[in-house]
């Protein structure tokens, strides 16, 4: 049975931890548990992070908006 598609694109990351910490993480629920905790403890709302990612992925748009803001202030 194939895995369900994740709600967001997942990228491989490396985390440095001891074997003991790795076992604890796996017992707590692994990556799914960690994602839940990160979503729950995030200091900003999800929309903020979505906007930041969109800005980073489209630097031309960010430059245009910055230039446009300068024109408004003139």
- By residue range, what is the domain housing residue 25? 19-73
Rounded to 10 deg, the angle between the 59-73 and 46-57 helix axes is 100
Could you tell me if residue 41 is inside a domain? yes
- Domain membership flag for residue 42: yes
Q: Are 45 and 38 in contact (CB under 8 A)?
A: no
Backbone angles phi, psi at 42, to 5 degrees: -60, 135
> In this structure, is residue 60 part of a structural domain?
yes
Structural domains of the chain, count: 1
Q: What is the pLDDT of residue 65?
A: 63
Q: What is the pLDDT of residues 10-60, one digit of tens each?
A: 888 888 999 999 999 999 999 999 999 999 999 999 999 888 888 878 777
Considering the domain boundaries, does residue 59 fall inside one?
yes
* Structural domain contains residue 45: yes
Q: Is residue 28 part of a domain?
A: yes
pLDDT of residue 74 exceeding 80, the answer is: no
**Is 23 contained in some domain?**
yes
């Amino acid at each position: 049975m194939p895995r369900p598609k994740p709600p967001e694109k997942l990228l491989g990351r490396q985390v440095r931890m001891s074997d003991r910490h790795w076992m604890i993480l796996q017992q707590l629920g692994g990556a799914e548990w960690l994602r839940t905790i990160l979503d729950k403890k995030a200091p900003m709302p999800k929309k903020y992070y979505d906007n930041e990612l969109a800005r980073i992925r489209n630097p031309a748009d960010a430059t245009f908006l910055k230039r446009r803001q300068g024109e408004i202030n003139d």
